[in-house]
Amino acid sequence: MKKRRVRRSMMAATTTIIGVASILLAGCTADSGGDDGGVAKISFAASTFGDPGRGPLLNQWLEEFNKSQSKVQVSAAAVPYPTFGQTVLTQMGSGQGPDLIRFDMPEFEAASDAGLIAPLDDLVDVSKYTLLKQPDQFVVHDGVRHGVIFEASNYAMFYNADLIPKPPTTYEQFVETAKSLTKGDVFGLAFRQTEAEEAGVWQDIFNYVYGFGGKWSDGKTLTINSPDNLKGLQAYKDLYDAKVIPKGADAATFRRMFAEGKVGMELNNGGYVTATRGQNAKLNFNVAPIPFPVRTQGAILAPVVINEASEEKEAAATFIRWTLEPANQVKLQEILGASSVATVTQRSAESLKKTPFLPVFDGLTESSLPQIVLGFEAKTPDIRKVVVQNVVAALQGQVDLKTALDRAQQQATELVG
């Protein structure tokens, strides 16, 4: 494979970001030999290690790997989600960083394009496993495998079943339900709407764009300001203007509110199931497909990759191979909740009894898309920033939505041109 040049935007990070990254990922470079009898010490960075519901369980899962090995030991590096991509890409761009990384797709594509990810073809023989074809296709570029799916999580509508006995099945019902529930300190809906949560806003608006028949590109040309995109984002803005959400609340806050019964609905991915139960095991919530006109929604595709700068690539590959073993895949899926993993697994009768709506998530796999701009995958983080800045400006009344999308179209086109 011809190594691609590292993009300047990754290499030229600010001194502040580099300093923060160094602190957060201290000790994340590989360490072998010494007093440990040749044990390779590798690090695995993932924002989910800091998840209050899944984080402790994932750490226990890593310990199971460590107990099974005599020559490799892995440690977790938790980096906060809002800064994860920029922090880790900055480290990798300077030839440092963790050995293993769980990326979301936009950052994965950027890192892959920049040559920061080690090809896996000679390290992991995936032919030994039955991989899920729909998610897996997005981690192979020009016949070269750059990652293995760690988590594939479709978006659906979470709702409080005590507040909403019968879930809405149309957008009109969705709006009416949100309005009728909003009283006092209870809100009908919640979503991210600030620049501080740029990556999260992108995930949220993705569902509105695709759910109303829109798309960010036709594969060759950006279509940010298309009529269908405007329609979907107008629906998002209408809900913001209707005062049915806790404005200004970040995801951590309104998810806690959902767990406390103070938010009626939220569009989220399958990984949120475990996190919600972790905050309130007694919450009576359920899940249904997002009730938008078009059955297409976002999916969190999170590959695990090996840092090209890692000095312990074989040790890191040992961990990936262990991850793909059937028993470990089943255990990982149980930890992740309603998400899927890299391989085809069977939901147990026990898990279906505990979580009857698991088939809802599983049934959305074929209609879910990763939150990247098709045809401009590596540029997605740059396009995302432009789109979110302009959409938030429209929410705040600084400009009308059509003008904001026209401006985003122009700015993004200049970026990718």
For residues 362-378, give the mean pLDDT: 92
- pLDDT for 19 equals 38
Grade residue 28 by pLDDT with cuts at 50, 70 and 90: very low
- pLDDT for 365 equals 86
Of the candidate ranges 2-11, 209-218, 368-377, 395-404, the one whose mean pLDDT is the lowest: 2-11
Grade residue 29 by pLDDT with cuts at 50, 70 and 90: very low
Is the pLDDT confidence value at 152 over 80? yes
For residues 5-29, give the mean pLDDT: 38
- pLDDT, tens digit (0-9, with 9 covering 90-100), for 222-274: 999 999 999 999 999 999 999 999 999 999 999 999 999 999 999 999 989 98
Is the pLDDT confidence value at 339 over 60? yes
SS in 3 state form for the chain? CCCCCCCHHHHCCCHHHHHHHHHHCCCCCCECCHHHCCCEEEEEECHHHHCCCCHHHHHHHHHHHHHHCCCEEEEEECCCHHHHHHHHHHHHHCCCCCCEEECCHHHHHHHHHCCCECCCCCCCCHHHCCECHHHHHHHEECCEECCEEEEEEEEEEEEECCCCCCCCCCHHHHHHHHHHHCECCEEEEECCCCHHHHHHHHHHHHHHHHHCCCCCECCCCECCCCHHHHHHHHHHHHHHHCCCCCCCCCHHHHHHHHHCCCEEEEEEECCHHHHHHHHCCCCCEEEECCCCCCCCEEEEEEEEEEECCCCCHHHHHHHHHHHHCHHHHHHHHHHHCCCECCECCCCCHHHHHHCCCHHHHHCCHHHEEECCCCCCHHHHHHHHHHHHHHHHHHHCCCCCHHHHHHHHHHHHHHHHC
The pTM of the full predicted model, rounded to 2 decimals, is 0.81
Taking all residues of the chain, what is their mean pLDDT, rounded to a whole number? 91
For residues 318-333, give the mean pLDDT: 96
- pLDDT for 23 equals 37
Is the pLDDT confidence value at 294 over 60? yes
Is the pLDDT confidence value at 15 over 70? no
Is the pLDDT confidence value at 10 over 80? no
Is the pLDDT confidence value at 372 over 80? yes
Grade residue 18 by pLDDT with cuts at 50, 70 and 90: very low
Domains of the chain are: 8-152+300-370 (3.40.190.10), 155-299+372-416 (3.40.190.10)
- pLDDT for 37 equals 67
Residue 3 or residue 176, greater confidence: 176
